[in-house]
Structure 1
Amino acid sequence: MMSADRETNHGMTSHDMSNGDIAFLLADAADEVEIGIAPYDAVLRGGRRRRARRWAVATATALALVGSAGTLAVAGLPGGNGSRGAQVATRVPAPPVQNVYPPERTTLATGTVDGEDWWVTIDVWSAPRDAGQAQAQWEAMAAYGSRPVDKASDLIGKSAYFVNRTYGDGETGGVSLGVFDENTPDSGKDLQSVAIPLDPKADGGPQRLVIGQIAPTAQQVTCTWKNGTTTELHKVPENETLATDIPAIRPAAQSPVNWFVCVAPEGTEYKSAGVTK
C-alpha cells in the first residue's frame, strides 16, 4: 500500500527524489512482478497491462522469458512501444535435417491369369546430393530386403529403382533393382530385361513374365516366345493415358528410361526381346 508520504510527493521530479525514495519505488514495483518462469502468453499480456512500469523491472521480466520461450519480446522497454512479436534475441537454430524423400511408385502393368490378378510396379528414388542424404536413403532402403549398391556413397548423384511383382494373394516380391548409370539404355536399340515365372511361388516354372527397360527413343519392342509367336508393344504417346492392362512401352515417374512388360501365352515362355523400331 502506498504511504501518505509517497502520495504527498507524487508529483516530484527525479531531481527531487532521494536515493531512499528511488529504492522504495523499485521495491514496490518489484512486488508486482510474478516470480518464476511465466508462460509466454501470460508475460506478453502482463507487459501490456504494466507498460507504465520502470524499464528496469520490465527488463528483468523479459530476460527471465528468454530462457523459456527462446524469444525476447519487447514490452515496456525503451523504444519497444510494447510491440508484440518484436524480437531482439532468438535461440540459435538447429542444423538442418537431411531430407530423404520417399520413392515414387508407378504401376507398369496389370492383368489376370487363371483367375489370379497380377501387377508390376516400380519404385524410383531420387538421387542423393551428398553423403548425409545417401546414408539416410541407404538405411530407408533396408525395408526392401536388399540394396542396389554395395555402400551408401555409391548412391550419391544416382537415382535407384526397385521393380516389384505381385501375383494373386501372395506377397509382393522383388524382381530387379539397380541404379541409373552409364549402363542405362539411352539410345537406339539398347535394352535390359528379365524373364521370370508369373507366379512367384512357381520356382523353376515357365518364364512367362518379361520386364525390361529401354531408351526413351524406342518406339516398339517385340517379345518372342518359344512357340514361335510374338507380342508387340508400342510406346504410349505423350499426354495420353493407356490402361495398365494393355501391354505397352511406358514412362515411370523419376525414371530416365521407359519400361515394358509382356506376358507369354499359356503353354510357352520367354525366348527373346528386342527393340524393333
Structure 2
Amino acid sequence: MSGQDENVVARSLAGLAEGVEIGPVPYDRVLAGGRRRRLRRRSAAAGALALAVVAMAGGGVVLGEGGGGAGAAKVMTAAAGPGASGAGASPGTAASVAVPSARPTATVSAAARDPFTPVRVKLAEGTSNGKAWTAWAALWPATGKDQAYQQARLIWQDQRTARPDLPEPTEDFVRQYRHEGQDTVDLYVTLDGKRLPVDATHETPAPGGEPPRATDPYGNLTGSALGPRAKDAPDPAMKDAPTVVLLQVGSDAAKLVVTLPDGTTTEPALVTVGDSPVRWVAIPRAAASAGGNIKVYGADGALLATTTDWLR
C-alpha cells in the first residue's frame, strides 16, 4: 500500500470514528516493526471493508471492531483435546487453553458459500479469572460488487450487538475499500458466552483465488490481539477478559510452538475456517509472557520463523 493510500485509509477511518470516544491508539505496539507494520496495515485496510476502525471499546484494544453474535450462521467446532497450562499465570490472564490434538478442519462445499451467512468456527478456549472464554472466527464469503454493501451491513449488525454505538458503514466507503476475490474473517472472543466489545476483521483469499502466503522468513505473523488495554479506564465487560492473540498461519506451516519465559510450551491448533485456504491459531497471552517466543515449523520439521512480537 502506498503512502497516499495509507493517508486515504487513515482519513476514512478517522471520519467513521467521529463521535466515538476512544483512547490513545497504541500503534507503537500493535503496528511495530517495518515489514510487520506493512502486513498489519494491509489487514487494517482489509478490515475497513467491514467498517474496521481502530476501536478502543472501553478498556479493549484491537484493529477491528467491537462485535456481537447475531444472525443464523453455520457453526463448526473442532474437536478439542488436552491443552497446556501456563504455570504461575497471573490473575486476569488465561491460565489454560484447550487445543485440538491434531490439525482440525471444517469444510463447506462451494455451493454452500452464502455471502450473507457466516461460517463460525471455534479457534480455542480456556479460562480467565474463573470464567470461560472462547475465541471465534466468522467467515463471510467473498461477494460480488452488487452484494458487498449488503454484506457489510450484516457484519455491522452482527458486531454492534456488543457495541451499540458502532457507526454504520456507508455504501461509498464499502465500494472504495472492498477487494474482489477476498473473504472477510471477523475475529472475536466470548466470555462466559457473552461476546466482548472488541474484534478484528481481516481479508483472506477466497478458494480458487490467490494462494495463501507462505510463512514470512522474518517471523512477521499477520493477525490481531484482542483483550483489555487500559487499566486506568477498564470497560466493565472486559474486566475478566484474557488477551488472545489470533494469527494467520502460513501455507507451509505444519506446527506452531509457543514458549513462555518459565519454559511452559503449547502447540495451538491450526484451524481451518469453512472452506477457506487460510488457517488460524489462537494463543492466550499471559501478562508475564514477555520474553517468550512463537516458533513456526514446516512439515519436514524445519524451523521456518521465530517471533517474539506477539507475546510482548
TM-score scaled by structure 2?
0.43
Which of the pair has the greater relative contact order for Cα pairs under 8 Å at 6+ separation?
2
Larger Rg: 1
TM-score scaled by structure 1?
0.48
